[in-house]
Structure formats: C-alpha cells, structure tokens
Amino acid sequence: MSPAPRTYRYFDLLMTGFVTVLLCANLIGPAKTCALTLPLVGTALVFGAGNIFFPISYIFGDVLTEVYGYAHARKVIWAGFGAMLFATTMAWLVIHLPVNPREPYNAIIQPALETVFGSTWRIVCASILAFWAGDFVNSFVLAKMKIWTDGRLLWTRTVGSTLVGQAVDSLIFYPLAFLGTWDSETLWRVVAFNWAFKVGVEVVMTPLTYGVVGWLKRHEQEDFYDRATNFTPFSLADQ
C-alpha cells in the first residue's frame, strides 16, 4: 500500500497567487507602452506595462520548485496554462457575442472591450506557448541546479533559472507575435531589454525570495530535492 501523498498548508495559496499574477500580467496592460524619463540621463525608458508584474510569476515558480519540487510546480504551471486558455476563450466569446442594439452603453463598451481584450490569435498563441515553455524551463533548471549545488547558494539557481527561462519566454513570444510586423532591429532590442528587465527584477527580489523560501521550508517542513523526479512536462504525478 503506497503512502498517502503529503499535504501542505500554503501550497494552494501559492498556486492561487501564481495564477492571479499570471492572468493579471497578461490581461491588464500588456498592450500599453510606457515611457519614463531617467534623471540626469534624460532619455526615455520605453517598456510594456504588463512587464512590470509578469516577472513576479517567475518568483512564484522559483519558490514552488525550491520548496515543493518540480512535480508540484508542474501542476501549478498547468493550472496557469488552463487559466490562460479559459480567459482567452472567455474574452473572445464576450467580444463576439451579438450586441444589444437597444442599449446605448454598448456603443461605448464594445469598442473598449475589443481594444483591451481583442488580441490577435497570433499574439495569444505566442503568449501562451512562451509562458508554458519558459516556466517549465525555469523550473527544470532550478531543480537541477539545486542538486548540483547540494541545496547551497539559492541565489545562483533563482537567478540562473530565470536567465534561461526568461530567455526562452522572450525568444518565443516576440518573434512569434511580431516578426514581420515590427522592424527587425526594434524586435530584437525589445527582446533584449525585456529579458534584462525581468532578470533584473529577479535579482532585486532575491532577499525577499530568500525570506519566503526559508519561512516556507520551516513551516511546511519540506525542502524537496528532485533526485528521482520524472521531468516530463506532460504529467500531473507527484514525482
């Protein structure tokens, strides 16, 4: 008789936080371009608004893999994938449902919905695929590095996994979504900037990551090492 799977007090809360950040980052502000003038330098820093919060999902991913292991992080990634598919389907359906011509407010809300939620299927598919691949690579690299470092030097694997995972994410999303639409030089500059920005967020948040990971390990009594884990992404097994 196989032992009952372990239950955790905070795992479900972390999964909820991950999916919430993921959905908000993809639905609120990804199409808005912001420009900030840097003090003394005077040049404008241009970036997509959604990029401010998207790296937080990678921090969630790092914490989940570090504490609970790759298999539990895999479940969270699939939960996020399903949530993104549902949100995309819901947005498409709401936009394309027939408008009630007797309601004057629809003349205002329908164009707004189309502008905010009416991304092309090319951008939607690129976003979902980039998230899926990038997060799995991030979790895989962190799990392997934890074994290589024997659980020491947490910052090397949080930053190292983000370097690789965010590179995969950016190199999939921007070419699939905008190649042939944007100028090639602009495209690769955006790829480079967004990769550097997201890695920078991971570096800045490292002290917080240390605190959260340490607190969870103490309270969950868990510090999982993926020495016997099946690393296929196409499974929901606990190992």
3-class DSSP state of 236: coil
Query: What phi-psi label fits residue 235: left (phi over 0), alpha (psi between -120 and 50 degrees) or beta?
Result: beta
- Span 154-168, pLDDT tens digits: 999 999 999 999 999
Residue 217 confidence class, pLDDT cut points 50, 70, 90: very high
pLDDT above 70 coverage of the chain, percent? 93
pLDDT score at 38: 73
Token representation of residue 24: 């908000």
Mean pLDDT (the chain, rounded): 91
Which residues partner with 239 through β-bridges?
Answer: none
- Given a cut of 80, is residue 46 above it in pLDDT? no
Spatial separation of the C-alpha atoms in residues 30 and 65, rounded to whole Å: 27
Would you state the pLDDT for residue 18?
A: 97
Distance CA 184, CA 75 (A): 36
pLDDT at 6 (0 to 100): 83
pLDDT tops 60 at residue 2 = no
Query: CA quadruple 128, 130, 132, 138: dihedral positive or negative?
Result: negative
Whether the CB-CB separation of 135 and 165 falls below 8 Å is answered with: yes
Place of tokens 């607190």: 215
Residue 171 pLDDT greater than 70, yes or no:
yes
Find the DSSP H helices in 69-120: 70-96, 106-117
Radius of gyration of the chain (CA): 20
Q: 125-145: string of b/e by CB count within 10 Å (b at 16+)?
A: ebbbbbbbbbbbbbbbbbbbb
Could you state, in order of their start, the residue ranges of all structural domains in the chain?
11-220
How do residues 173-183 score in pLDDT, each as one tens digit? 989 988 888 88
Cβ count within 10 A of residue 93: 9
Is residue 51 pLDDT above 80, yes or no?
A: no
Q: What is the pLDDT of residues 27-39, one digit of tens each?
A: 886 667 677 787 7
pLDDT band at 199 (very low <50, low <70, confident <90, very high): very high
Which pLDDT band, with edges at 50, 70 and 90, does 118 fall under? confident
pLDDT at position 185: 85
> Is the confidence at residue 143, as pLDDT, over 60?
yes
Q: What are the structure tokens assigned to 95, written together? A: 């936009």
Give pLDDT, residue 193: 85
Q: Determine the pLDDT at residue 216.
A: 98
Spatial CB neighbours of 238, under 8 Å, sequence gap ≥ 6: 5, 71, 72
pLDDT of residue 3: 61
Q: Does the domain made of 11-220 have the CATH classification 1.25.40?
A: no
Please count the other Cβ atoms lying within 10 Å of the Cβ belonging to residue 2: 4
Using the predicted structure, report yes or no on whether residue 113 has a pLDDT greater than 70.
Answer: yes
Instruction: Compute the C-alpha angle 55/57/58, nearest 5°.
Output: 70
Helices in the chain by DSSP H: which ranges?
11-27, 54-68, 70-96, 106-117, 121-148, 154-178, 184-204, 206-220
| pLDDT recorded at residue 16 | 97
User: What pLDDT, in 10s, does the model give residues 53-109?
Assistant: 888 999 999 999 999 999 999 999 999 999 999 999 999 999 999 999 999 999 999
pTM for the full model?
Answer: 0.92
